[in-house]
Amino acid sequence: MKTAAVNKNVRSRRSLSRNDRFTLSAFVGIPTLLQVVFLWGPTLITIALSFTYWNGINVGDIKWAGLANYKNIFFGSPVFYDALKNNVVWLLWFTFIATPLGILLAYQFDRKIKGHQIYETIFYMPVVLSLAIIGIIWNFMLQPGGFVQGVMGRDIGNALSIWGNYSINSYVIMAIASWRHIGYIMLLYLAGLKAFDSSLREASAIDGATEWQTFRKIIFPTMRPVNVIILVITIIDSLRAFDLVYIIYGTSTAWPLLNILAFQNFAGQGISMKGAAYSVIALVLCVVPILVYLRIVFKEDLE
Amino acid sequence: MSTTIVRNKDYKNKQKVKDNFISAIIGFFAFVWIFPILWTLWTSLRPYNDIISYGVFSWPRHLNLDNYFQAFRVMGLTKYFLNTLYVMVPSVILILFLGSLIAFVVSRYSFRFNLTLLLFFTAGNMLPTIATYIPVFWLYIKIGDLFGNRSLLYNNYFGIILIHVAFQVGFATFVLSSYMKTVPKEISESAILDGCSVFRHYWDVMLPLLRPPLAALGVLMSCWIYNDFFWALILMSEDSKRPVTSALRQLQGQYITDFNLLAAGASIVAAPTIILFLVLRKQFVSGLTLGSTKG
């Protein structure tokens, strides 16, 4: 059986005319070239540059630095540990609060509770907004004279500094990030639940299980592949976090993240390859989750 | 028998009460969720002077669309919307086209490097953007200098289109190839037996079958590229050539004091994606979910 299939493949490959071979090479070659030149190539070059000193202008000025950039980051830049801490806070918040909330919403909507269609639309709405708009919307809410300050009874004169206060801004940033993330996870999980066999659920209802028991003991364990994918997506998103904080603080390091520090060293005052080292650290942290993701989604092909 | 039915009914009633309670709680949060958007809309309908003289929570004395007309006139939004189209339309077409090419080859012809190719494209989509920034920036300027025109890629729509295509084609490849696996192989086999060339096999046989995922991806990609402000902000040095979301980011600094005008601007810029989502929700959802939760 297997040899027959192999033979067939060999035959079909041999039967390709020269024209067809050319078409196939073009089909594969053009997109691959684009990926190599603008994506993989630059990423590899950034990795190489992280071991050098360079001002980003003339290639001739590149000087070998060995591990100096990394040493500088690990031993001479306390801000690196602040960024790492913020990335970890982001990761933990998303993993243990935002993502489970999204899953819980998806579960309730899948049961078609009253108003689920309107709710779904509302919860997903922030996901389709540009971060540039999200920045403006939340500024309205939080700025002096804005809604939140008004509710707290603070007028423009004695407004609370929200962006400048470390114990407050972490919560605010997590809240805004969750405002997008929860809807996204909700939608992904809902699609997974659609494929779930509803007879299992009915059976457990007849057995007298409560909805919570049904979810915990039957649905959640059966959804394992989807759960893992969603967890991995959450981790990768947390490690790549950048846009939202960039919209709020620009390249300042008021609330640093690994990618913010990388960008600050690239585009702030004076280009330095310390930025390359920062982005390599962020990249390395992403490698394992990306590999896990690939392993899951291409499971059949890999076997 | 009758007792189980009674118990079942009892259970159902209890569950119904609980469900109403759950629905009410979620309803409350849904209101909290949409409130910032509603508040922005509300602010955009009021003149700035009203708020200055009577406060944020004052009862509205004037409600009108003046801020909207003003936003179009003062901010020049029409020009920026056109810029967005120049970037978005070619990018989406190229992403779908190139993605479908790879997906087609990988799922219909067996070569040794098929899986490698698929992994390579899918992983590419997940790389952190920032890691490519310095080499891409440098490359754009050098390629421009090579052809004697520094703004061949840098500060040019073409450059932004290229970077969007490079980043998103992996996602399109992944979604389309997983869809193609569900298309019966027999269709391709008979096409090959009939002596179809590779190109006709792709163009006349496979492409029409790919319409549903292409539509879904098209909607999703349009939304993503419309919303991206980052690449245009750093690869476009001329403000007047920026797409609308990047422009809005700049205008935020200029009009920070007149936040009613800014609210109108933000509402106008948000409208296309929100309308697209409300009208084509099914496409949105299937585009996203085909790509990430095949499992």
Report pLDDT digits (tens) over B125-154.
Answer: 888 888 999 899 999 988 998 988 888 888
Residues B247 and B175 in one domain: yes
> HSE of A108 in the Cβ direction (CA atoms, 13 Å)?
26
Q: Which of B135, B230, B278 sits opposite A41 (nearest CB)?
A: B135
The verdict on residue B29 lying in a domain is yes
Please give, rounded to a whole number of angstroms, the shortest distance from the CA of A17 to a CA of chain B: 8
Please give, rounded to a whole number of angstroms, the shortest distance from the CA of A240 to a CA of chain B: 6
Q: Residue B276 has what pLDDT?
A: 92
Q: Residue A9 has what pLDDT?
A: 47
Interface probe, candidates A8, A14, A140, chain B, greatest B C-beta count within 10 A: A140
Q: How far apart are CA B273 and CA A132, in angstroms?
A: 13
Q: Assign A63 to helix, strand or coil.
A: strand
Q: Does B54 lie at the interface with A, CB-CB under 8 angstroms?
A: no
The verdict on residue B251 lying in a domain is yes
Place of tokens 């002077």: B49
> HSE of A62 in the Cβ direction (CA atoms, 13 Å)?
13
- pLDDT one-digit tens code per residue, B170-214: 999 999 998 888 888 888 888 888 888 888 999 998 999 999 899
Q: How confident is residue B293, by pLDDT bands cut at 50, 70 and 90?
A: very low
Highest mean pLDDT among A70-79, B55-64, B127-136: A70-79
Mean of the per-residue pLDDT values of chain B: 86
- pLDDT one-digit tens code per residue, A246-300: 988 888 888 999 999 999 988 766 788 999 999 999 999 999 999 998 988 888 7
Residue of B nearest to A17 (CA): B197
CB pairs under 8 A between A and B: 286
Residues B257 and B191 in one domain: yes
Q: Which has more confidence, B281 or B255?
A: B281
Are the Cβ atoms of A27 and B104 closer than 8 angstroms?
Answer: yes
**Residue A52, φ and ψ in degrees, nearest 5:** -130, 170
Mean pLDDT of B221-242: 90
> How many domains are there within chain B?
2
Are the Cβ atoms of B130 and A279 closer than 8 angstroms?
Answer: yes
Q: How far apart are CA A85 and CA A256, in angstroms?
A: 9
Please give, rounded to a whole number of angstroms, the shortest distance from the CA of B132 to a CA of chain A: 5
Q: Which of A115, A150, A188 sits opposite B57 (nearest CB)?
A: A150
Residues B18 and B101 in one domain: no
**Residue A18, φ and ψ in degrees, nearest 5:** -65, -40
Show which of residues 169-208 on chain A sit within 8 Å of chain B, judged by CB atoms: 179, 183, 187-189, 191-192, 205-206, 208
Q: How far apart are CA B165 and CA B171, in angstroms?
A: 10
Residues B6 and B152 in one domain: no
Q: Does B169 lie at the interface with A, CB-CB under 8 angstroms?
A: yes
**Residue A63, φ and ψ in degrees, nearest 5:** -125, 140
Residues B13 and B89 in one domain: no
pLDDT over threshold 80, residue B48: no
CATH superfamily assigned to domain A77-302:
MetI-like (1.10.3720.10)
Show which of residues 13-52 on chain A sit within 8 Å of chain B, judged by CB atoms: 13, 15-17, 19-20, 23-24, 27-28, 30-32, 34-35, 37-43, 45-46, 49
Q: Which of B123, B132, B230 sits opposite A290 (nearest CB)?
A: B123
Which of B289, B43, B26, B16 lies closest to A121, judged by CA?
B26
Are the Cβ atoms of A187 and B288 closer than 8 angstroms?
Answer: yes
For chain A, give me the number of helices (H) and strands (E)? 18, 2
- pLDDT one-digit tens code per residue, A200-209: 777 877 787 7
CATH number, residue B169? 1.10.3720.10
Please give, rounded to a whole number of angstroms, the shortest distance from the CA of B255 to a CA of chain A: 11
Q: How confident is residue A7, by pLDDT bands cut at 50, 70 and 90?
A: very low
Q: Which of B8, B122, B228 sits opposite A294 (nearest CB)?
A: B122
Q: Which two tokens stand for residue A228?
A: 């893992």
Q: Does B140 lie at the interface with A, CB-CB under 8 angstroms?
A: no
Are the Cβ atoms of B39 and A296 closer than 8 angstroms?
Answer: no
Q: Does A53 lie at the interface with B, CB-CB under 8 angstroms?
A: no
Using an 8 Å CB-CB cutoff, list chain A residues near B277: 124-125, 128
pLDDT over threshold 70, residue A186: yes
Q: How far apart are CA B137 and CA B134, in angstroms?
A: 5
The verdict on residue B203 lying in a domain is yes
Residues B27 and B102 in one domain: no
Q: Indicate the pTM of the whole model.
A: 0.88
Residues B118 and B176 in one domain: yes
Place of tokens 């891409």: B136
For chain B, give me the number of helices (H) and strands (E)? 15, 0
- What burial class does residue A4 get, using C-beta atoms within 10 Å of its C-beta: 0-12 exposed, 13-18 middle, 19+ buried? exposed
**DSSP annotation string for B62-113:** ---SHHHHHHHHHH-HHHHHHHHHHHHHHHHHHHHHHHHHHHHHHHHS--TT
Are the Cβ atoms of B23 and A129 closer than 8 angstroms?
Answer: no
State which residues form the domain around B166.
Answer: 69-292
Using an 8 Å CB-CB cutoff, list chain A residues near B163: 38
Q: Which of A130, A179, A302 sits opposite B245 (nearest CB)?
A: A130
Beta bridge mates, A52: A64
Residues B129 and B33 in one domain: no
Are the Cβ atoms of B99 and A31 closer than 8 angstroms?
Answer: yes
Q: Which DSSP helix (H) or strand (E) runs through A7?
A: helix A2-14
Calculate helix-pair angle for B133-146, A41-49, nearest 10 degrees.
Answer: 110
Residues B11 and B111 in one domain: no
Are the Cβ atoms of A259 and B162 closer than 8 angstroms?
Answer: no
Q: Which has more confidence, A18 or A92?
A: A92
Residue of A nearest to B294 (CA): A297
Q: How far is CA A227 from the centre of its chain?
A: 16
Interface probe, candidates B225, B248, B293, B294, chain A, greatest A C-beta count within 10 A: B293
Are the Cβ atoms of A137 and B127 closer than 8 angstroms?
Answer: no
Q: How far apart are CA A142 and CA A162, in angstroms?
A: 7
Are the Cβ atoms of B270 and A113 closer than 8 angstroms?
Answer: no
Q: What is the DSSP letter of B192?
A: H
Let me know the angle formed at the C-alpha of B65 by B64 and B70, rounded to the nearest 5 degrees.
130
The verdict on residue B30 lying in a domain is yes
Show which of residues 131-160 on chain A sit within 8 Å of chain B, judged by CB atoms: 131-133, 135-141, 143, 145-147, 150, 155
Q: Which of B102, B109, B293 sits opposite A192 (nearest CB)?
A: B293
Are the Cβ atoms of A286 and B223 closer than 8 angstroms?
Answer: no
Which of B128, B105, B130, B129 lies closest to B116, judged by CA?
B105
pLDDT over threshold 90, residue A21: no
Interface probe, candidates A17, A28, A193, chain B, greatest B C-beta count within 10 A: A28
Report which residue type is found at A173. I
Mean pLDDT of B114-126: 89
Residues B80 and B147 in one domain: yes
Q: Residue A11 has what pLDDT?
A: 44
